């Protein structure tokens, strides 16, 4: 052969980290989901939306939710529909943008969030964080942030027009070209 193509390989440790990453994620989210369902009749994906809504002060636009939890628009529509049927949130249209829909936590939604939050946090500590030192934690979050930033490099998050915490937010100078995931 005149020229061997790159032929990349993973070192022992690299392979272990990658496989570990996949397994760890599946096992932990699976278990967390089960615990959340058992204690609060809530899927992890559903709880995550309640969580993001709560952190945002109680409401958020559909597209923003989709971006936050890494889901398709259609997926968010369906989960929100479920949560609405359960009485945990309501839809409200956005006055400044006729296309926009806000998901808004109801009182029941806030209550559910609180109840599930306790279970969730306990589970995260027990299954994810246990025995992890501060300096390791720093490495981890830096690592994850890098991955997220990298895969989202060319994206720009969606607008969240007329959000609660909107402090006369102006559109950033739009970046060079377009999104093109």
Residue closer to a second copy by CB (options 30, 179) is 30
Residues making contact with DNA (CB under 7 A): 43, 45, 61-63, 66, 70-82, 91, 94, 97-101, 158-159, 178-179
Q: How near is the Cβ of 163 to a second copy at its closest, in Å?
A: 19
Q: How near is the Cβ of 63 to DNA at its closest, in Å?
A: 3
Residue closer to a second copy by CB (options 9, 174) is 9
Residues making contact with a second copy (CB under 8 A): 5-10, 13-14, 16-18, 20-31, 48, 70, 118, 121-122, 124-125, 127-132, 134, 136-141, 143-148, 150-152
Residue 178: which region, alpha, beta or left (left: phi > 0; alpha: psi -120 to 50)?
beta
Residue closer to DNA by CB (options 69, 119) is 69
Q: Which does 75 bind (CB under 5 to 8 A by kind): DNA, a second copy, none?
A: DNA
- What token pair was written down for 113? 């969030």
The residues, any chain, with a CB within 8 Å of residue 169's CB and separated by 6 or more, are none
Q: How near is the Cβ of 34 to DNA at its closest, in Å?
A: 7
The residues, any chain, with a CB within 8 Å of residue 90's CB and separated by 6 or more, are 84, 103, 104, 106
Residue closer to DNA by CB (options 7, 178) is 178
Residue closer to DNA by CB (options 48, 54) is 48
Q: How near is the Cβ of 79 to a second copy at its closest, in Å?
A: 14
Q: How near is the Cβ of 37 to a second copy at its closest, in Å?
A: 14
Number of other residues whose CB lies within 10 A of the CB of residue 32: 19
Q: Which does 151 bind (CB under 5 to 8 A by kind): DNA, a second copy, none?
A: a second copy
């Amino acid at each position: 052969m005149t020229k061997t193509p790159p032929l990349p390989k993973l070192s022992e440790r690299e392979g272990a980290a990658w496989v570990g990453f996949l397994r760890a994620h599946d096992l932990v989210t699976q278990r967390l989901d089960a615990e959340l369902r058992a204690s609060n009749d809530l899927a992890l994906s559903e709880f995550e939306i309640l969580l993001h809504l709560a952190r945002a002060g109680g409401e958020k636009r559909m597209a923003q939710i989709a971006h936050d939890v890494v889901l398709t628009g259609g997926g968010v529509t369906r989960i929100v529909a479920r949560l609405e049927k359960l009485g945990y949130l309501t839809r409200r249209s956005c006055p400044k943008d006729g296309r926009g829909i806000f998901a808004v936590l109801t009182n029941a939604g806030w209550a559910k969030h609180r109840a599930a939050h306790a279970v969730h946090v306990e589970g995260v500590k027990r299954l994810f964080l246990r025995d992890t030192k501060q300096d390791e934690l720093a490495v981890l979050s830096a690592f994850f942030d890098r991955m997220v930033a990298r895969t989202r490099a060319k994206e720009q998050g969606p607008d969240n027009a007329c959000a609660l915490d909107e402090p006369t937010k102006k559109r950033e100078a739009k970046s060079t070209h377009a999104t093109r995931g």
